[in-house]
Structure 1
């Protein structure tokens, strides 16, 4: 754990240490998203004696990591939990165009051959379009605000309608940097 993370956790603990389930924690909706690749756990464990880790009988080949990746989201609080998990897929491939360097200008004392040579070098630096494939363990803020956040907001809204203390209910996100409260944008606004 980093020093900064530890400081934030201690600060959070001190801020909420006197709060009980009845007056605070029962009103918090906790959310989380999980990404599971069942094929990544294909190699089994071996029971071995200490110090024999690198013996040939204890080394296993890892299989190819292919398979169905599961993306799951849900929420819970002290009184209830989501009736069903949300399965989603935010793995859109896209093409990333490289940033083009500035086109060179002809210099005063440069011959046309030298300039055409510099143009060829510039053209070679441009690069090719890059096919970006998703990692499978993150989502964009846009996808989060369109697909998952409305489900969480609806759950909090329903709790506020059915309880005596409607202003007490809070949504506590998991703090994922790709879409959570640390990133400025639509998710934070909503």
Structure 2
């Protein structure tokens, strides 16, 4: 009766009583919160990148794996996630360019601007690399914290590595092309000697010659994925014509109002986007190709990177899943190429348009985040 008068309710009031006493109903936790937080530190938990079962045995935690997962998730908002890897930090100059790119293009419409861009990129795929990325125990939303980022191991050189290129547009998906095959293998050229300043040469003229020399030097490929490097001449002869042909076909068969189609290229030295007196620029000028200015270190501003991600995920899934005998990879480079072509053919324009439609929001984000990298579920 006293409880009824106090709470004006005849139901059980155990929860109200516990709130007044600042206690919780049910059995107490078997592990203190301090013990759970100690698992997040490398100093107190040296096996943080190991499976939970190993961490339980190493740290003598009196819980099962499932109970520990529940404790981590509900009490400190933590869990086991795929580990992030270190990447080259975006330079201050490129951050400045990225912010400018965001300010200029954040209000550009999908129809009338972004749908007129032909996105291009080159990539490589090594089927012998590890498909399963390591995991690590960490707090939610702390993926890019320093102690949660692992060191990327160098990718082993493999004769099965395929180098591929393609271009996509809101209305078009180009064929998947391959380069650096056995037929037209491109060996690494000897580095050109750094030019010396002449006695009576102006500083401006010397800087121009130095810039031209830097552009002609072959780029270094991270991890030595295939042992092949691309020069401007090779890119202009084998890859660029297919990009130009896609733009020319759009001009001929366009049923939309007259517009200017743009070609997007990243700042790889072989593309020669930083100078004008080179074979690549001359070929684009002859064909009246206008390019979209693209800041350096910006794969997050190229939807083609998202298309590569879709392709690689599906191929990895196919190589790892049980399949009928006639569809299993036989281990040869030719069959691997056929698998890539088959999976590429199944990527739809709807998926490509979903990626391109993210460009306005990414540009708005760039204009406010200081040019930092943009990461999402798409790419």
- What TM-score do the two structures reach when normalised by structure 1? 0.63
Structure ranking higher in helix proportion: 2
The answer to whether the 8 Å contact 1:43/1:63 transfers is: no
Distance, in Å, in 1 between the alignment partners of 2:162 and 2:251 is 31
**1:52-82 residue CA offsets vs partner (Å, 9 max, x unmatched):** xxxxxxxxxx996433121100001111211
Distance 1:148 1:48 in 2: 40
Picking from 171, 174, 184, the partner of 2:263 is 171
CA contact (8 A) 1:32 1:174 kept: yes
The structural deviation recorded for 1:36 is: 2.3
Q: 2:103 aligns with which of 7, 14, 25?
A: 14
Cα deviation, residue 93, structure 1: 2.7
Asked if the contact 1:35–1:70 (Cα under 8 Å) also holds between the matched residues in 2, the reply is yes
The yes-or-no answer on 1:29 pairing with 2:118 is yes
How far apart, CA to CA, are the structure 1 residues paired with 2:126 and 2:268?
Answer: 19
Equivalent position to 2:172, from 68, 75, 80: 80
Q: Using the TM superposition, give the Cα deviation of residue 96 of structure 1 relative to its aligned residue in structure 2, in angstroms.
A: 4.2
CA distance 1:18–1:68, change in 2 (3 Å): same
Distance in 2 of aligned mates of 1:174 and 1:81? 18
Structure 2 counterpart SS, 1:13:
helix
Between the aligned partners of 1:69 and 1:10, the Cα distance in structure 2 is: 35
**What displacement does 1:92 show?**
2.4
Distance 1:177 1:16 in 2: 25
Structure number with bigger Rg: 2
SS of structure 2 residue aligned to 1:5: helix
Contact 1:159 1:166 (C-alpha < 8 Å) held by counterparts: no
Q: What RMSD in Å do the two structures reach over aligned CA positions? A: 3.1
Q: Which residue of 120, 140, 152 maps to 2:243? A: 152
- Residue 138 to residue 20, structure 1, CA distance change in 2 (3 Å): farther
Change beyond 3 A, Cα 1:81–1:95: closer
Q: 1:97 to 1:32 in 2, by over 3 A?
A: closer
Tell me the distance in 2 between the aligned counterparts of 1:45 and 1:87: 27
Distance 1:17 1:44 in 2: 36
2:186 alignment partner, one of 69, 92, 109: 92
Judge conservation of contact 1:145–1:187 (CA < 8 Å) in 2: yes
Q: What displacement does 1:183 show?
A: 4.5
TM-score, reference length from structure 2: 0.33
Asked if 1:181 is matched to 2:273, the reply is yes
Displacement after TM superposition at 1:42 (Å)? 3.8
User: Whose RCO is larger (CA < 8 A, sep 6+)?
Assistant: 1
Which residue is 1:121 aligned to? Answer: none
